[in-house]
Amino acid sequence: MLRFDTLIIGSGLAGLSLALKLADNQNVAVITKKSLLDGASAWAQGGIAAVLSQNDSLDEHIHDTQVAGAGLCDPDTTRFVIEHGAAAIDWLISQGVPFTRDAASDSGYHLTREGGHSHRRIIHAADATGLAVQETIAVKARAHPNITLLERHIAIDLITGKKLRRDDNRCYGAYALNSANGETVTIAAQNTVLATGGAGKVYLYTTNPDTATGDGIAMGWRAGCRVSNMEFIQFHPTCLYHPHAKSFLISEAVRGEGGTLKLPDGARFMPWHDERADLAPRDVVARAIDFEMKKRGLDCVYLDISHQPVEFLKEHFPTIHSRCLSLGIDISRQPIPVVPAVHFTCGGVMTDLHGRTDVDRLYAIGETANTGLHGANRLASNSLLECLVFADAAAKDILGKPQGQIPELPQWDESRVTDADETVVISHNWDELRRFMWDYVGIVRTTKRLQRAQHRIQLLHEEINEYYRNFHVSADLLELRNLVLTADLIVQSALSRHESRGLHFSKDYPHMLPEAIPTVLIPPGYRAA
């Protein structure tokens, strides 16, 4: 059995930031399914939103966040995150993150603007901000003597008092599978943190990496945590449409720098849908694209930034420019074919302002958590900000707690399982789930479609749980188990919301109700913290 002061499940910006903030005072372990840079944080292009200019204000950033969130943002959380934004950026700069500079700016850095923002407030490192941030802090995490990195390990489940038949509501660590050798590891910890990212791989088309399988949300639910607002799945409006470009995002900053969405005949269509046109929030733009594609039978629409000089494009969007060029698309001369794709999970495991969940000594931060910041729709570039602020808040809470006794934990029991006879069941169920979620629980929903999805999820649940009980676990099986549970939570939440708000649009309930109420799902045997 391995023992640590804090176990962090996930190595994105939230997880690694927390590890660095704890490691001078604690022994910390970080579990990651692949390598440190394989999460969604490293894929983030646009940047991090924060009030850094004298022309901007906290109140305006708060207002923009609340407008995008369609009235569902928690006001205390929103103010808490935005008030701590500048300090979060200062910490990253102190770590050595190479943000793009601008001598003419009062902040000293180039700030861009994205949909839903009233000011330029997105600090970035060209168009590969997430990668620049992750590479910088990953180097520091690898070098720290108190951080143990368990790469190619996937968490199986949390170890709680309930599992140990103890009369407490506490987390004691987790079981993890070493996917390199197939061995199962028992990890005991004073504190356990879910930082596994979102659940984009529930859907057929997503901008997320393959690691985004809802693991933390599913584990938190099984451990007894409430989840909230799972119906709000953000579809990024502009994913590159090309047979050889898997999940390549075209940053919202392209529209922030003057890019316009067009039909194949060159006509702009966003002014027909919203007065903010191409700078409307993501839910509005994604629905507009979906509408135009279905109305006209289109495979994609086009994002045109060709009016900008090629030098400008190479400076501000070097990754997008070179990637498109490698596929035969010269963005300085022709528009970029784009389609919407699942981008962000706004809901998740419910937490307070310290990242604490309903289970004692269990925290959730980053996309896994539902802090109340995003409401019914996340404002662009608020996600990395949330990761940083709640990593800091959780670190302070963890360091302020006394160390307790961790009992000897039982080893993972494999005495009643055998090797799987056919793994085709896993791949078939994976494909089926992602396809019907895209068809039935997509950008525009109906009650009948949601009920069809729910029926199929129940059948998959039965098959997968039987498989889980009888055969040795594998990474693919664990991810599928978590995906199906997360899909079920999404559909339950969508069925319970009888209105259209933010990212959840129902043809059966097209109007928004006067009062914004979060959707809260309560797990079986729930115990309040």
282 catalytic residue (yes or no): yes
In angstroms, how far is the first alpha carbon of the chain from the final one?
27
Burial of 110: CB neighbours in 10 Å, binned 0-12, 13-18, 19+: buried
Distance CA 424, CA 149 (A): 32
| Angle subtended at Cα 156 by Cα 155 and Cα 157, rounded to the nearest 5 degrees | 100
Decide: 348 and 369 in contact? Cβ < 8 Å.
Answer: yes
85 closest CA partner among 51, 42, 128, 131? 51
Token pair in block for residue 21: 């903030």
The string of DSSP letters for 304-358 reads: E-TTS-HHHHHHH-HHHHHHHHHTT--TTTSPEEEEEEEEEE--EEE--TT-B-S
Give CA 162 to chain center in angstroms. Answer: 28
Q: Residues near 179 by Cβ (< 8 Å), separated by ≥ 6?
A: 33, 152, 153, 154, 474, 475
* SS3 at position 464: helix
Return the bridge partners of 182, or none.
none
Distance CA 79, CA 371 (A): 12
Active-site annotation holder among 170, 222, 226, 282: 282
Decide: 20 and 137 in contact? Cβ < 8 Å.
Answer: yes
Active site residues: 282
